[in-house]
Structure 1
Amino acid sequence: MKNAKTIIFYFLIGFSILEIPVFVFGIINTMVSLKYETENPTDCISLITGQDLCLTIQILKALIVVCIVTIVLLLVFRKRILNTN
């Protein structure tokens, strides 16, 4: 049976990799909403939901960066994390 650290390590890498396309899709979806739910191209507040769509896009971009940083850090410190000693 694999070590719990190994299972968590690979789960975090896999989850981070799978979430990046989800967040990209969220950005694209929000940009479509931004186009059709606002009056002017510079507006950020949806006329339908009242949601700040620009804030949503910024949060999704930040989440993509967090996923990438998580993947990089896990790979850089892989030996230290998975050390079974």
Structure 2
Amino acid sequence: MRKIIYIIALILLLVGITLFEFMAYNSMVSLKYETHELNDCISLVSEIDLCRAIRTFHIIAILFGLTIMGLLIYKKRILK
């Protein structure tokens, strides 16, 4: 049972990485088309700080990647 949970966690983390990186890319497109200049970070449409959103999505994706590496490194200890 623990091995199934371990595999599901790895799959969800991999999906999470791709999802958050896609969200960062989507926010970069919004940054291009919803602001007057690239130096502006506030969206004219939704008034969201897009630079902070992009940074947050990248940080979450990196944390998911580090979690995957930790799960893979300590696989024997986790599955005991």
TM over 0.5: yes
Q: Provide the C-alpha distance between the structure 2 equivalents of 1:21 and 1:68, rounded to a whole number of angstroms.
A: 10
The unaligned stretches of length 5 or more in structure 2 are none
Q: Which residue of 2 aligns with 1:35?
A: 32
Aligned with residue 63 of structure 1, among 57, 60, 64: 60
Q: Which residue of 1 aligns with 2:45?
A: 48
Paired residue type of 1:23? F
Structure with max Cα Rg: 1
Q: Provide the C-alpha distance between the structure 2 equivalents of 1:66 and 1:8, rounded to a whole number of angstroms.
A: 19
Aligned with residue 9 of structure 2, among 12, 16, 35: 12
TM superposition shift of 1:64: 0.8
RMSD of Structure 2 on Structure 1 (CA)? 0.9
Report the count of equivalent residues: 80
Runs of 4 or more above 6 Å deviation: none
Q: Provide the C-alpha distance between the structure 2 equivalents of 1:25 and 1:76, rounded to a whole number of angstroms.
A: 27
The unaligned stretches of length 5 or more in structure 1 are none
- Over the matched positions of the two proteins, sequence identity in percent amounts to 39
State TM-score, norm by structure 2.
Answer: 0.94
TM superposition shift of 1:81: 0.6
